[in-house]
Amino acid sequence: MTFQKGDLVRVIKAPDQNNFLIKGILNKLGVIVENVEAKSSKNIWKVFVGGKFYHLHKLDLEKVDVCRRFQDNR
C-alpha cells in the first residue's frame, strides 16, 4: 500500500515494532505528513498522531478509507 501526504491512517500492531513507542498510539488515527529519508528503509513515514509527530514504518499503518466509512454509516 502506498501512502500520500494527507492520508488518514490508523496505527496497527505489526511484527518488529518498538512496543514502547507504539503502546500509547496503537489503534489511534493519524495523518501522513511526509515520507522520511532513512538509511534503514524507504518506508518510514512522518505521522501526526495525538498531537505529536512519529516516524513509523508503513507496516505499522493502515490507510483509512474515509469515503467508504461515510457511505457505510448512511
So what's the pLDDT on residue 45?
A: 95
Domain range list for the chain: 8-72
- pLDDT beyond 80 at 73: no
Choose between 16 and 51: higher pLDDT.
51
pLDDT score, position 61: 95
What's the CATH fold of domain 8-72?
SH3 type barrels. (2.30.30)
- Asked if pLDDT for residue 68 goes beyond 70, the answer is no
Region 29-34: mean pLDDT is: 98
pTM tops 0.95, yes or no:
no
Contact (Cβ atoms closer than 8 angstroms) between residue 64 and residue 10: yes
